[in-house]
């Protein structure tokens, strides 16, 4: 993907680029061999151009950044996740109708702050293991 409005995320840059972002962040978790990811790329680029002034758009290759994918429970690609103030507030897995993704981006930009205010942060160090 060569969209100027999309940043390439990595495990090492995730905290600064996503968790500390003042704007909402839309992330596409992808794999280079995923045909559905390739099919969704042009739409993701279009929405990054259209909504780039209101949100940050990024993508992360789960093949070389497994820590972040595991941390957020990503099991398939593409997975689209939306973050406000570092908190995941919405996700969709797989190739979806482009209009669904566009509407979700628009809604997140319009209502994401309200969603964050009503949510409770969950510590990343919580596990089910003793």
Average pLDDT of the residues of the chain: 86
Q: Which of 112, 67, 66 is nearest to 88 (CA)?
A: 112
Q: How far is CA 58 from the centre of its chain?
A: 7
- This prediction has a pTM of 0.84
Summarize the confidence of residues 99-123 as an average pLDDT.
Answer: 73
Structure confidence at residue 10 (pLDDT): 97
Read off the DSSP letter of residue 128. S
| Side-chain half-sphere exposure of 28, counting CA atoms within 13 A | 29
Q: Name the E strands within 1-130.
A: 6-9, 25-30, 56-61, 79-84, 87-93
End-to-end alpha-carbon separation of the chain, Å?
A: 42
Structure confidence at residue 85 (pLDDT): 85
Read off the DSSP letter of residue 19. I
Say if residue 89's pLDDT is above 90. Answer: no
Which is higher by pLDDT, 49 or 119?
49
pLDDT confidence bin for 127, thresholds 50/70/90: very low
Structure confidence at residue 108 (pLDDT): 87
């Amino acid at each position: 993907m060569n969209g100027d409005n999309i940043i390439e995320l990595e495990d090492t840059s995730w905290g600064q680029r996503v968790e500390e972002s003042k704007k909402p962040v839309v992330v596409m978790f992808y794999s280079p061999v995923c045909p559905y990811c390739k099919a969704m790329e042009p739409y993701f680029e279009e929405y990054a151009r259209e909504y780039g002034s209101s949100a940050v758009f990024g993508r992360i290759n789960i093949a070389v950044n497994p820590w972040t994918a595991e941390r957020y429970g990503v099991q398939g690609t593409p997975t689209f996740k939306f973050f406000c103030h570092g908190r995941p507030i919405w996700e969709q897995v797989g190739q979806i109708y482009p209009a669904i993704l566009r509407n979700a981006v628009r809604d997140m930009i319009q209502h994401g702050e309200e969603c964050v205010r009503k949510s409770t942060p969950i510590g990343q160090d919580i596990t089910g293991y003793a």
